[in-house]
Structure 1
Amino acid sequence: MVRRALAALATLLVAGCAGLADSGTRSTVGSDGTGPITLAIGRDTTAYLRPLLDRWNQAHPDEPVSLLELPEAADEQRAQMVANLQAHNDVYDVLALDVMWTAEFADAGWIAPLDRSLFPLDKLLKGVADTAIYRDRLWAAPYTSNAGLLYYRSDILKKERLNPPKTWAELREQATRLSAKYHIGGYAGQFLPYEGLTVNFAEAVQSAGGSILSPDARTVTMDLGSARAALDFLVGGVKEGWIPREALTYKEEESRLAFQEGRLLFARNWPHAYGPAAHSKLAGKFSVTRLPGLNGPGSSSLGGYNLAISAFSKRQKSALDFIRYFTGLDNERLVLTEGSFPPVWAELYDDPELIKRFPYLPALKEAIVSARPRPVTADYNQISLLISSAVSGALTLDKPVDDTVADLKQGLGEVIQFGG
């Protein structure tokens, strides 16, 4: 597995040399290129978008934006974008990038740098703007933020006179006892081997007081104690049954549906799952809080999307104008009210009217501000593949926890050393 990761990493390094060479000298988006543009974004985020895009199109009939829906899974979105950009195809104008892809796409020369003075970065939530900056240049505009939350059946906990769990021990006890009593699954996250599993494991490590890599991704900082505690928490849940085996096939949508349909007592998911649940048979029967941790409230991975301009777009002026409009305060409010996605403007989290409508906003703001960004590296995809594959082997009980953690640390070290 490590050899395959290293080989893929070598290909990326060679292919990315040209992009890295000019990433510090390329000029920002200019004033040329107007006309119809496309927005490429994962289809799990698009249900609310069309009315918002219609507002732009009505005001800019000569520069309409078309929605280009990519696959739901983040890994598949990235693969489709990469294939298009490697071919220097101009079919994409604006790219909705997972915050972890910004460095990779900038390093490869696939996106155009932006003039940071055009964006109100100081008005955004703490840490959000950093996800769009690579080598001291702005490469995208923050569009949505994200932090994992614990969804729980408030009706059942209220009936049992219990508070939502703040620690793993409390989660384990409640999930074990109440799932048997009410005949539903105990807890699930995103446990299929893909980027979502990497995020769930990273959150568990952080919530045990540890980390995996240094912020610049040049050093393996994962200590065996916190990593073992994190993996024991997840693997123990599978062995003991309070994490259903079915959860090992879950991505975001599967875990959302399982909770929304009443098949789970607890679920880890992103805030976008709140809106659909609030309009389902579960309305009034659930709530959200911060993720639990080893000894108290845990820490989420910082997520979200940044909007970038393809370096091969022929309509970069229109793309830039659209991004400035679409990340503005008025539209960010609609991102929350119409899509249930976390906006990036800090003031929206303190708006009394919005808090009344979205009572989870204070908890979400706390979760985002306390979240940790994943390592900023052009080679993040290879690191994520290595982590998710290793953790999946432990969750399916194919490999002991101790061996998994030791081999993962060694593998990460080899990848980093090779990339250095």
Structure 2
Amino acid sequence: MFRRGCLLLATLLLAGCSGFGGDPGEEPGSGTGGTGPITLVIGRDTTAYLRPLLDRWNQTHPAERVTLLELPEAADEQRAQMVANLQAHSDRYDVLGLDVVWTAEFADAGWIVPLDRNLFPLNKLLPPVVDTAVYRDRLWAVPFTSNAGLLYYRSDILKKEHLKPPTTWAELRDQALRLGKKYDIGGYAGQFLPYEGLTVNFAEAVHSAGGTILGPDARTVTMNPDTTRTALGFLVGGIKEGWIPQEALAYKEEESRLAFQEGELLFARNWPHAYGPATHSAVAGKFQVTRLPGLNGPGSSTLGGQNLAISAYSKRQKSALDFIRYFTGPDNERLVLTEGSFPPVWADLYDDPELIKRFPYLPALKEAILSARPRPVTANYNQVSLVISSAVSSALNLGKPVDETVTELKQQLGEVIQTGG
């Protein structure tokens, strides 16, 4: 039975290696079905939770030890290093920790292999999270962590002022302006450096205003000019009026996390992983989290997270597959939360009373993930993101008029998706 199972897995992987992209004369993954030591390449582990999880696998799989290769923290830099490796058809990487927006690009290029849905308990995972691993109706990766932007706020200050956390942009602006001046504290910050984080913040603003960026087929720019102007105007107005401090224009995730936990901000948009460190900081016991505010009510977060995929050029794809099945199982997913403060992908963990007691934000996070919107799903996502972050940065940093920015952005996105597909 065991031998038959191994043959079945090898056959399934081999059948998928001729997927999308790649040179017709190439046979990617010539080691399909192979076993042995493997390498997991993933973004920098800022909470030091990964190695203990990997040690558990290595202790029971001495012939298939996993080596952790950490890439830079910024998603843009991670992608650049992975792409360089895969374009060289290198077999150095076996398991790839992919940002959820890379699935289409990597699948389309033939850099990862399709997987059999029946090998994974996808029905037990959060549905929007599973969708991020699917491209053209095929499963190309397995969800490992999820993510949705949350609003961190100083609950001690709001309680003192007899205020509830803002659910609309108007409430956020009013509280950030008034209380920022009263308590000599920065009002609000997100991730506004021109990189992927700025694309995320802009997408959240557009979605929270009721708009969209690209159509489901990724071949049509669906940005409504009025809605997009409202969204961009919200961010630009914050800079001009001062309730978004100038320093925030240079913030990525870590900079905004540190600013909030050092008591420099009243409100901050960040991912859930910032929660754990904040509980051991200057704002411990003085903050809480909630859903992002929107134009007329609770807003829409951008769906983030990481999926695990198998390199098409790996010579040990059988071991890689077994490792992914193990690493995304319920026991490890619980540790992803308890040790790493990253959102798990198993739905029932969000309803676990023991976990909710330890992580009070779980109910709000589950709502945020279920109502989150993905970034544009396109094989040319990197260029789409670069166009968005560059345009939005010009409006925030250089004072480029909002109307002009929106008009040019829509035109540039049209050009990108027509040439990139």
Could you tell me the TM-score, scaled by structure 1's length? 0.93
**TM-superposition CA deviations, 1:199-231 (whole Å, max 9, x none):** 100100111111111122111110011100111
Taking structure 1 as reference, are residues 44 and 62 closer, same or farther at Cα in structure 2, changes over 3 Å only?
Answer: closer
**CA shift at 1:419, angstroms?**
3.5
Which aligned pairs between 1:251-400 and structure 2 lie closer than 5 A? 251-400=252-401
Which aligned pairs between 1:112-261 and structure 2 lie closer than 5 A? 112-261=113-262
Taking structure 1 as reference, are residues 29 and 291 closer, same or farther at Cα in structure 2, changes over 3 Å only?
Answer: farther
The answer to whether the Cα contact below 8 Å between 1:29 and 1:112 also exists between their aligned partners in 2 is no
**TM-superposition CA deviations, 1:75-124 (whole Å, max 9, x none):** 00000000011001111111100000011011111111111110001111
AA partner of residue 358 (structure 2): R
The answer to whether the Cα contact below 8 Å between 1:29 and 1:115 also exists between their aligned partners in 2 is no
Q: Distance in 2 between matches of 1:324 and 1:189?
A: 35
Q: Distance in 1 between matches of 2:140 and 2:19?
A: 17
The answer to whether the Cα contact below 8 Å between 1:299 and 1:371 also exists between their aligned partners in 2 is yes
Q: CA RMSD in A?
A: 1.9
The answer to whether the Cα contact below 8 Å between 1:190 and 1:252 also exists between their aligned partners in 2 is yes
Q: Distance in 2 between matches of 1:152 and 1:194?
A: 24
The answer to whether the Cα contact below 8 Å between 2:29 and 2:315 also exists between their aligned partners in 1 is no
AA partner of residue 320 (structure 2): A
**CA shift at 1:46, angstroms?**
5.6
Q: Distance in 1 between matches of 2:98 and 2:152?
A: 26
Taking structure 1 as reference, are residues 153 and 226 closer, same or farther at Cα in structure 2, changes over 3 Å only?
Answer: same
Which aligned pairs between 1:91-110 and structure 2 lie closer than 5 A? 91-110=92-111
Equivalent residue of 1:20, what SS? coil
Q: Distance in 1 between matches of 2:103 and 2:180?
A: 41
Q: Distance in 1 between matches of 2:262 and 2:30?
A: 46
The answer to whether the Cα contact below 8 Å between 1:29 and 1:316 also exists between their aligned partners in 2 is no
The answer to whether the Cα contact below 8 Å between 2:32 and 2:315 also exists between their aligned partners in 1 is no
Taking structure 1 as reference, are residues 18 and 63 closer, same or farther at Cα in structure 2, changes over 3 Å only?
Answer: closer
Equivalent pairs, count? 402
The answer to whether the Cα contact below 8 Å between 1:110 and 1:311 also exists between their aligned partners in 2 is yes
Which aligned pairs between 1:19-58 and structure 2 lie closer than 5 A? 19-20=20-21, 32-45=33-46, 47-58=48-59
Taking structure 1 as reference, are residues 302 and 333 closer, same or farther at Cα in structure 2, changes over 3 Å only?
Answer: same
**CA shift at 1:21, angstroms?**
6.9
Taking structure 1 as reference, are residues 343 and 326 closer, same or farther at Cα in structure 2, changes over 3 Å only?
Answer: same
Q: Distance in 1 between matches of 2:215 and 2:209?
A: 16
**CA shift at 1:413, angstroms?**
1.5
Equivalence for 2:7: none
Q: Distance in 1 between matches of 2:32 and 2:380?
A: 32
Q: Distance in 1 between matches of 2:50 and 2:130?
A: 23
Taking structure 1 as reference, are residues 90 and 249 closer, same or farther at Cα in structure 2, changes over 3 Å only?
Answer: same
Equivalence for 2:3: none
- Of residues 230-239 and 46-55 in structure 1, the stretch that sits farther from structure 2 once superposed is 46-55
The answer to whether the Cα contact below 8 Å between 1:20 and 1:107 also exists between their aligned partners in 2 is yes
- Of residues 31-40 and 332-341 in structure 1, the stretch that sits farther from structure 2 once superposed is 31-40
AA partner of residue 256 (structure 2): S
Q: Distance in 2 between matches of 1:119 and 1:18?
A: 20
Structure 1, unmatched stretches of 5+, are 1-16
Structure 2, unmatched stretches of 5+, are 1-17
**CA shift at 1:22, angstroms?**
8.5
Q: Distance in 1 between matches of 2:161 and 2:22?
A: 61
**TM-superposition CA deviations, 1:106-162 (whole Å, max 9, x none):** 111111111111000111112111111111111100001110000000011111111
The answer to whether the Cα contact below 8 Å between 2:20 and 2:109 also exists between their aligned partners in 1 is yes
**CA shift at 1:18, angstroms?**
9.4
**CA shift at 1:44, angstroms?**
4.4
Equivalence for 1:414: 415
Equivalent residue of 2:97, what SS? strand
Taking structure 1 as reference, are residues 89 and 58 closer, same or farther at Cα in structure 2, changes over 3 Å only?
Answer: same
The answer to whether the Cα contact below 8 Å between 2:32 and 2:314 also exists between their aligned partners in 1 is no
The answer to whether the Cα contact below 8 Å between 2:19 and 2:113 also exists between their aligned partners in 1 is no
Equivalence for 2:80: 79
**CA shift at 1:183, angstroms?**
1.2
AA partner of residue 169 (structure 1): A
Equivalent residue of 1:100, what SS? helix
Equivalent residue of 2:152, what SS? strand
**CA shift at 1:34, angstroms?**
1.1
Q: Distance in 2 between matches of 1:316 and 1:289?
A: 41
Q: Distance in 1 between matches of 2:353 and 2:381?
A: 38
**TM-superposition CA deviations, 1:216-259 (whole Å, max 9, x none):** 21111100111001111000000011101110000111111110
**CA shift at 1:418, angstroms?**
2.8
Equivalent residue of 2:343, what SS? coil
Percent identity between the aligned chains?
82
Equivalence for 1:3: none
Equivalent residue of 1:145, what SS? strand
Q: Distance in 1 between matches of 2:386 and 2:49?
A: 31
Q: Distance in 2 between matches of 1:146 and 1:373?
A: 11
The answer to whether the Cα contact below 8 Å between 1:148 and 1:300 also exists between their aligned partners in 2 is yes
The answer to whether the Cα contact below 8 Å between 2:31 and 2:314 also exists between their aligned partners in 1 is no
